[in-house]
Structure 1
Amino acid sequence: MELLFVAVIAAGIGLIVRYIIPGRRAYGLMLLPLGTAVVACALWVALLWGGFTFDGGWIWTISLVGCTIAAFLAAVLLPRARRASDERMRQKLGI
């Protein structure tokens, strides 16, 4: 049940980051929320397998901070990659 809570909170974090960082027109609406939820769930499961308990504070902190960092990185790097890709395509097409 806690994994569902982590996924929903992480998706909310991703949605907030999408509107905080400029450049959101370079990627889809649900990319950041979905990506942050996946990262948070993967961290959560890895930490559970690593011996953390689901009711401990560290598993929540590490999972949510990790997904927030991933969301900020994606929000910064995706528009740059999109612009570079678009420029390569323009040069290839001769536009």
Structure 2
Amino acid sequence: MELLYVTVIGASLGLILRYVLPKRETYGAALLPAIGAAVTSIVWVGLVWAGWTFDGGWIWVASLGAAVVVVVLTALLIPGRRAEADVALFDSLAGVKA
């Protein structure tokens, strides 16, 4: 049951960070919440398999902290790469040689 709770909290953190971080128009509305939920649940399951107890506080901190770090990195890296890809696509469609 705790896996469900931590996954929902991870998705919620991703949703909050979507509106806090800049350049959100360069990626979809569900991307950061989905990444937050996925990272949180993967880290949680990995830590439970490693022997961490679900009623301890550190598993919550580690799982949610990992989700926040990955979501922030994703939100900061996508806009630059998206701009480069858009320019390259526009140049190829316009017939411009690089």
Q: TM-score, normalised to structure 1's length?
A: 0.96
1:84 corresponds to which residue? Answer: 84
Q: Could you tell me how far apart the structure 1 residues matched to 2:56 and 2:15 are? A: 26
Share of identical aligned residues, percent? 46
Q: What is the root-mean-square deviation in Å for CA atoms of aligned residues?
A: 1.0
Q: Could you tell me how far apart the structure 2 residues matched to 1:68 and 1:61 are? A: 10
1:5 corresponds to which residue? Answer: 5
Q: Could you tell me how far apart the structure 2 residues matched to 1:76 and 1:43 are? A: 21
Equivalent position amino acid for 1:50 in 2: A
Q: Could you tell me how far apart the structure 1 residues matched to 2:79 and 2:57 are? A: 34
- Following TM superposition, by how much is the alpha carbon of 1:30 offset from its aligned partner in structure 2, in angstroms? 0.5
1:54 corresponds to which residue? Answer: 54
Structure 1 outlier segments of 4+, above 4 Å: none
Structure with greater Cα Rg: 2
* Unpaired stretches in structure 1, ≥5 consecutive residues: none
Correspondence 1:69-80 to 2 at 5 A: 69-80=69-80
* Unpaired stretches in structure 2, ≥5 consecutive residues: none
